[in-house]
Amino acid sequence: MVHRPKKAGKSIGLVPTMGYLHEGHLALVEQARKQCDTVVVSIFVNPIQFGAGEDFDTYPRDLSRDQALLEEKRVDALFAPSISEMYPAGYHTFVEVGGEITAKLCGASRPGHFKGVATVVSKLFNICLPDKAYFGQKDAQQAMVIEKMVRELNFPIEIVRVPIVREADGLAKSSRNVYLDAEQRKQALVLSKALAEAHSRIKQGERDVARLKEIMRAVIAASPQANIDYVEIYDAADLSDVEQVDRNVLIALAVKIGSTRLIDNLLVEV
């Protein structure tokens, strides 16, 4: 699939996805299209990054719709392997990124998640041989984990982060938004509202991280169906703890609306 363009000296851009594509994914594809000769998109709902009791079975899938969207975006190749192609019987090799970066946020609430992500992304890199690979800032921690893995395992690949795409009312685009009923869809706005409130308080001079987290928790508490998984503010470079917003920080939150777990974040540069 990629050996011919590679041999011909063409640059390859990979957009790894789990499908059910939305404008967030398409922004990754557009960026890849601008920067690379050959654009490859992978669609694979990776079972090993889902924990027991998570939504692997119900994760939305629609390959023919995805295929049509990718054709419109002039994607050169779609790689949509089966589970047995990626993990044949007897498969036992995993990639694990350690340190603070995987211990916090989604790493703490979803044990094993980033091991599953790092493993599948390594495999996709080896199969698709990209020069650049595109990840959404919506999954900021995932992008940081992949960047660390690429540095530490010497993958000759540039990771490109693409900004979050939002609905007109602020909700970050996510394949999981389809799980929300009309009332939950309204309540899901507490995530972006909490981030916006923290941002405006920072602009007004509030620097105390504990206080900012309290303010965000209060915004979320106003929504009866919202249950906080985490509301955190960490150093944007390495997720180390901060007490004051005196450097670039990542404000990250995960909130369950009914049974749907949503994440969102904001990078604040000071």
Q: Least Å distance between CB 121 and ligand PAF?
A: 6
Q: Least Å distance between CB 19 and ligand PAF?
A: 8
Which residues, other chains included, contact 12 with Cβ-Cβ below 8 Å and sequence gap of 6+? 2, 5, 6, 36, 37, 38, 39, 40, 128, 129, 130, 131, 132
Nearer to ligand PAF, 31 or 46 (CB): 46
Q: Least Å distance between CB 156 and ligand PAF?
A: 19
Cβ atoms of residues 209 and 250 within 8 Å: no
Cβ atoms of residues 41 and 78 within 8 Å: yes
Residue 228 DSSP label: E
Nearer to ligand PAF, 121 or 157 (CB): 121
Q: Least Å distance between CB 25 and ligand PAF?
A: 8
Q: Give the interface with ligand PAF as residue ranges (CB under 6 A).
A: 16-18, 46, 49, 117, 120-121, 139, 142
Q: Which entry of 3, 25, 92, 199 is annotated as an active-site residue?
A: 25
Nearer to ligand PAF, 15 or 242 (CB): 15
Nearer to ligand PAF, 75 or 120 (CB): 120
Cβ atoms of residues 79 and 41 within 8 Å: yes
Nearest to 167 by CA among 134, 192, 130: 192
Full strand arrangement of the beta sheet holding 249-257 = 226-235, 249-257, 260-268
Cβ atoms of residues 12 and 51 within 8 Å: no
Nearer to ligand PAF, 178 or 270 (CB): 178
Q: Least Å distance between CB 164 and ligand PAF?
A: 13
Cβ atoms of residues 109 and 229 within 8 Å: yes
Sign of CA dihedral 177, 52, 142, 64: negative
In the residue annotation, 25 being an active-site residue is answered as yes
* Interatomic CA distance for residues 92 and 148, integer angstroms: 22
Q: Which active-site residues does the annotation give? A: 25
